[in-house]
Amino acid sequence: MNTLFLPGAWHLANPGFLWWLLLIPIFFLLRSWSRCKPPGILFPAIGMAEKLIRDPRQSLHHVIPLCRVLALVLLVLAMARPQGEVRRVERIVRALDIMLVLDLSESMRAYDIKPNRLAAAQAVLEKFIKERKIDRVGIVVFSGAGFTLMPLTTDYPSIIASLRDITTNTVRIEGTAIGEALLTAANRLLEAGTENSSENPSSGRVVILATDGVNNRGIDPVAAARILAEKGLKLYTISLGGERRVLRFQRNFSGKLVPLRDIYGRRQYWEKPDVDTLRRLAEIGGGQYFQAGNRGKLEEVLDQINKLEKRRVKIKHSIEYRELYLWPLAMALFFLGLERILARTRFRRF
């Protein structure tokens, strides 16, 4: 069915019926031709004819055929189904599936990012989650093993509540298992499997890894990154903390923080992030590597990731219409009724 769009917020759904307008003059021509020629004198007395000539009603003799024409035109217009635009919606849809992979190893208690690395990461990731609109977000946490804290969901309050509750004791296995955490995140994304679903038109699946350590348990993270790349998952990596070693602290009997020392009195330091490996992981995963030495920098990093993923957009147009054919139909019936009334009363023929 063809649709004719007209200037303004309305259109004709069945414009083919407009061709019927050409039949109206043909109809009246045939009707006039088929009529018998009226007699020359309709009245037996000349006086009555003179009175009729003076009757002002005769100057309006065209009203009845005009009503007929208008009624037919309006009936054709009603059959063409005029429709008025009710609402036009244009939305920019950013539909991503994002798995946040957060390190919970003991080194996340380091104070080089205030108040400490974990607390700063929690606050910035919470802000990142609050900025989501329709993106699904999940969280994987890890130290010596990787665990799913939250599966992919748009229930942002629940995600934030879970994020606030985590500590370095949430995963009670020592170590840093980056590779295992990446595969756990990949499994959650692949299990969701709705990239082409109409319910969730996901245009991208992203893993964001935030860690401050070196992989020392489980699967090789480079091998894990290759698996992510083969499955079409993009990987961003963030190293938390600076590139220098960070002094470890402990609280003494009075509760004051003092440097941690070994049995020989030597100061202890947290291990530096494996920057080279994180860069390689991002390169393999088709994303980027970022270094966040403070909370402000970490916020900038997530803002940059937001901008990079803004390319994934879909524009949807949705237009709703309401039928307007009742108006010309009602007017056509009015003119037909008026023509019938006038033909039998005021303008009837003798």
CB 168 within 8 A of CB 104: yes
Mean pLDDT confidence for 109-137:
89
Mean pLDDT confidence for 280-307:
89
| Vertex 4: Cα angle to 2 and 6 (nearest 5) | 170
- Residue 1 or residue 30, greater confidence: 30
Residues paired with 269 in a beta bridge = 247
CA 180, 148, 301, 165 torsion: positive or negative?
Answer: negative
Question: Does the pLDDT at position 332 exceed 70?
Answer: yes
Question: Does the pLDDT at position 70 exceed 90?
Answer: no
Question: Does the pLDDT at position 19 exceed 90?
Answer: no
Question: Does the pLDDT at position 113 exceed 80?
Answer: yes
- Would you place residue 264 in the very low, low, confident or very high pLDDT band (cuts 50, 70, 90)? confident
pLDDT, residue 76, reads 85
pLDDT, residue 5, reads 41
pLDDT, residue 231, reads 92
- Residue 266 or residue 97, greater confidence: 97
Question: Does the pLDDT at position 28 exceed 80?
Answer: no
Residue type, 191: E
Question: Does the pLDDT at position 4 exceed 80?
Answer: no
Domains of the chain, by residue range, sit at 4-88+319-344, 95-312
pLDDT, residue 26, reads 77
pLDDT > 70 fraction of the chain, expressed in percent and rounded: 73
pLDDT, residue 1, reads 42
pLDDT, residue 242, reads 72
- Would you place residue 185 in the very low, low, confident or very high pLDDT band (cuts 50, 70, 90)? very high
Architecture of the domain defined by 95-312: 3-Layer(aba) Sandwich (3.40)
Q: What is the pLDDT of residues 130-166, one digit of tens each?
A: 988 888 999 999 999 999 999 999 999 999 999 999 9
pLDDT, residue 344, reads 75
Helices within the chain (DSSP H only):
23-34, 46-53, 63-79, 117-130, 156-165, 178-192, 221-230, 275-284, 295-309, 326-344
pLDDT, residue 164, reads 94
pTM for the complete prediction? Answer: 0.62
| Vertex 57: Cα angle to 51 and 63 (nearest 5) | 150
CB 98 within 8 A of CB 204: no
When the pLDDT of each residue in the chain is averaged and rounded to a whole number, the result is 79
- Residue 88 or residue 127, greater confidence: 127
pLDDT, residue 129, reads 94
Question: Does the pLDDT at position 274 exceed 60?
Answer: yes
